[in-house]
Amino acid sequence: MATKHGSQPDPIFLHDLDKAGRRHVLIWAGVRLAAFTVLILSLYFVIPVGGFNEANPAAAWIRLAVIVIVFLSALSLQLRMILAAHIPQVRAAVTVVEAVLMFLCLFSLLYMSLSLTDQSSFSHPLTKTDALYFTTSTFATVGFGDITPISQLARSVVSVQMIADLGALLLVGKVAFFAAGRRLGL
């Protein structure tokens, strides 16, 4: 039900839909997540990654700042989408998964740059798959130990990721579901 001609429909809770409506919304959310995952991973594996000047470790921190800006910009766009969503709870859940995927890919690109700049930054030179694997195992706090940061710069960046992992997950989850609550008038 639209509030005015041409305006957004009033937001509703997922549980307000009948069984078929819920199924449709959840299937569409799954399709969206699958498409987003394919897009982000395709971009991740296609984007060329270069090293930076080993004599200038500030370049790694500049890339880290760019990663933070890209991540926060994407999160801002996602929040606007939640505030306009017809079923904001589902959009908020999708946002959390999409944000985590972006976070992992962005840090993986940074680790690739570190490895290309100085192959001794990690226990062995990283491929894009290795970098994504390392980032994911660090995020999941598994840390198998098969890839380890060796240089002080790599250890520092990994430390930042470990701290940011918890902060990003909590921030994204809290902000996304707060926005969904605002959209629902809660």
pLDDT on residue 7: 65
pLDDT on residue 64: 74
* Listed residue (126, 101, 130) closest to 113, CA to CA: 126
Per the structure block, which two tokens stand in for 141? Answer: 């706090």
Residue 141 CA, chain-centre distance (Å), reads 16
pLDDT on residue 111: 92
Cβ-Cβ contacts under 8 Å for 25 (sequence gap 6 or more): 14, 17, 87, 90
| Distance in angstroms (rounded) separating the CA atoms of residues 6 and 163 | 45
pLDDT on residue 4: 47
pLDDT on residue 38: 97
Please, what are the averages of pLDDT over each run of 10 residues along the chain (186 residues)? 57 85 92 95 87 67 80 88 87 88 90 89 94 94 88 92 85 81 79
The 3-class secondary structure across 122-136, one letter per residue, is: ECCCCCHHHHHHHHH
pLDDT on residue 5: 45
| Distance in angstroms (rounded) separating the CA atoms of residues 148 and 71 | 25
Per-domain residue ranges for the chain? Answer: 58-183
The answer to whether 107 and 67 are in contact (CB under 8 A) is yes
What is the topology classification, in CATH, of domain 58-183? Helix Hairpins (1.10.287)
The answer to whether 93 and 174 are in contact (CB under 8 A) is no
The answer to whether 25 and 17 are in contact (CB under 8 A) is yes
For 6-67, the DSSP string reads: TSPBPP--GGGS-HHHHHHHHHHHHHHHHHHHHHHHHHHHHS------TT-THHHHHHHHHH
pTM for the whole thing? 0.80
DSSP state of 145: S
| Distance in angstroms (rounded) separating the CA atoms of residues 79 and 65 | 21
